[in-house]
Amino acid sequence: MKSPSSPSREAHRQRCQRLVDSLAAAPDDIRLGKDTSNLFRSRVALNTRSLDVRDFTSVLEVNPKEGWVDVEGMTTYEDLVAATLPFGVMPMVVPQLKSITIGGAVTGIGIESSSFRYGLPHESVIDMDILTGDGQIVTASASNDCSDLYYGFANSYGTLGYALRLKIRTVPVKPFVELTHHRFESPERNFEALGQFCEDPEVDFVDGVVFGDQEHYVTTGRFVDHSPQPPSDYTWMKMYFKSIREKQRDWLSVEDYIWRWDTDWFWCSKNVFAQSTLVRVLAGRERLNSVTYQKIMRWNDRTGVMRSINRWRGVHTESVIQDVDIPIQHACEFLQFFHREIGIKPIWTCPTKPLDPAANFDLFPMNPETLYVNFGFWDVIKTRDAMPAGHFNRLVEAKVRELGGLKSLYSDSFYKEDEFWALFDGKSYRALKSRYDSAGRFKDLYQKCVLRV
């Protein structure tokens, strides 16, 4: 365990001071300067200055006995997990992609297969230091003077301030995870079973995949001390998502379980041809990961290569890259709508339930009594006829609202402004903005997430 008075604390303090000075000297329209990002909406204006936070990547202290880790805000989960596993613990919820950072997941909403038990990453924050738009570093916890910021930070996407340090809860791990893939033909039976698995105290992880309207899987995982066979390896030639249909039972090391979706970006590696055997051999294990795919997608976004090819082929496209949370009682209805109107497959499903029923995170309000199912779908819809901008995304937004669900804002959104603030608690947000960014140095949430300015 690292000591709280270790040199890393002092270095952290110095980095904080440098950042306070940089922010004071910076122009108003500023963005975070990082090497990686998992955002899927590009800014309209690209010439903004950035605040260099690339050195906020240290794990300051791991305390397995008390069950927490103290970490700098731009630390990737890859580094965070690597620092905690040797102590026999992991963060309560680890998003699937290695380059997602702790600050990004807390402010931008994350989820994983332990969320049915521990909620979303922001729910396991004990306290955090935030550099606000007003240029101060404040500590926010559930019970201190800045509890409004603690509860208002999730889903604020850096528009109130930047988390520079976070103390988050951890849970003990065992060396292996035993997986069982349960297949269901009907959606009713699938979601009924999903709900039941979430009640089972023996189960440590629950998620699932819908491959077709009659092919649903729920995968349960539990920590085990031993694997009865050499654990599987999906970090190169074999693909985890394919194994779900091929095996009923499987074993992975805890680390490989945590990153099982990263190698193939769930299944989205197909978009960069990385599911071909030849490409996998040539790319090698090190390049098959979400960071590589992000770089390729961003290059494509910048150069417009696919856009030109599609235009030449006379095809109209719309990216539908979304994660939505739907109360489980409406999961079947959402899925029926989705197959009928959107048609992307596969679809990732992941249950989540608020960790503390008394907590209310203003900008991402969830019913504490309800189990939600996250549906993740990430693809491009191609049509011969030109559709109005955002046609398919709008359909999703409307259905999610009708069913009392919530949509993540990491990708494109098309909400009207009044509709947006009704969903994401405009009143609380305005109060937070005037307390922590009174001069409006950062964009507001609507400008950033919908208008993309």
Ligand X SMILES: Cc1cc2nc3c(=O)[nH]c(=O)nc-3n(C[C@H](O)[C@H](O)[C@H](O)COP(=O)(O)OP(=O)(O)OC[C@H]3O[C@@H](n4cnc5c(N)ncnc54)[C@H](O)[C@@H]3O)c2cc1C
Rounded CA-CA distance 308/64 in Å is: 52
**Inter-axis angle of helices 305-313 and 290-303, to 10 degrees?**
60
Q: Which is nearer to ligand X, 77 or 337 (CB)?
A: 77
Q: Which stretch binds ligand X (CB under 6 A): 107-115, 209-217, 280-288, 325-333?
A: 107-115
Using CB under 6 A as the binding rule, whether residue 221 contacts ligand X is answered as no
| CB 401 within 8 Å of CB 327 | no
Candidate residues 116, 118, 150, 162; the one interacting with ligand X per rule CB under 6 A: 162
Q: Which is nearer to ligand X, 321 or 331 (CB)?
A: 321
Q: Which is nearer to ligand X, 22 or 227 (CB)?
A: 22
Nearest to 106 by CA among 129, 138, 134: 129
| CB 348 within 8 Å of CB 209 | yes
Does residue 318 sit in helix, strand or coil?
strand
Rounded CA-CA distance 425/248 in Å is: 43
Q: Are strands 59-63 and 68-72 parallel, antiparallel or unpaired?
A: antiparallel
Centre a 10 Å sphere on the Cβ of residue 340 and count the other Cβ atoms it contains.
10
Using CB under 6 A as the binding rule, whether residue 113 contacts ligand X is answered as no
Q: Which stretch binds ligand X (CB under 6 A): 96-104, 174-182, 324-332, 399-407?
A: 96-104
Candidate residues 58, 75, 101, 114; the one interacting with ligand X per rule CB under 6 A: 101
Q: Tell me how far, at minimum, the Cβ of 116 lies from ligand X, in Å.
A: 14
Candidate residues 154, 163, 288, 320; the one interacting with ligand X per rule CB under 6 A: 163
Candidate residues 107, 232, 269, 413; the one interacting with ligand X per rule CB under 6 A: 107
For residue 404, what are the contacts with CB-CB under 8 A and spacing of at least 6? 326, 327, 330, 367
Structure tokens at 436: 């922590």
Candidate residues 23, 81, 105, 371; the one interacting with ligand X per rule CB under 6 A: 105
Q: Tell me how far, at minimum, the Cβ of 220 lies from ligand X, in Å.
A: 18
Using CB under 6 A as the binding rule, whether residue 157 contacts ligand X is answered as yes
Binding mask 270-309 for ligand X (x = CB under 6 A): ----------------------------------------
Candidate residues 92, 111, 140, 171; the one interacting with ligand X per rule CB under 6 A: 111
Q: Ramachandran region of residue 52, left (φ > 0), alpha (ψ -120 to 50) or beta?
A: beta
Q: Which is nearer to ligand X, 189 or 270 (CB)?
A: 270
Using CB under 6 A as the binding rule, whether residue 95 contacts ligand X is answered as yes
Q: Which is nearer to ligand X, 176 or 259 (CB)?
A: 259
Using CB under 6 A as the binding rule, whether residue 413 contacts ligand X is answered as no
For residue 379, what are the contacts with CB-CB under 8 A and spacing of at least 6? 268, 271, 319, 320, 321, 344
Distance of CA 323 to the CA centre of its chain: 9
Candidate residues 57, 96, 124, 132; the one interacting with ligand X per rule CB under 6 A: 96
Candidate residues 100, 140, 210, 342; the one interacting with ligand X per rule CB under 6 A: 100
Q: Report long-range pairs for 398-405 (Cβ below 8 Å, ≥24 apart).
A: 399/334, 399/337, 399/338, 399/341, 400/324, 400/326, 400/334, 403/326, 403/327, 403/330, 403/333, 403/334, 404/326, 404/327, 404/330, 404/367, 405/324, 405/325, 405/326, 405/327, 405/330, 405/334, 405/372
Say how many residues touch ligand X, by CB under 6 A: 29
Pick out residues in 315-354 that bind ligand X (CB under 6 A).
321, 323
Judged by the rule CB under 6 A, the positions of this chain that interact with ligand X are 32, 34, 37-40, 73-74, 95-96, 100-101, 103-105, 107-108, 110-112, 157-158, 162-163, 321, 323, 376, 378, 410
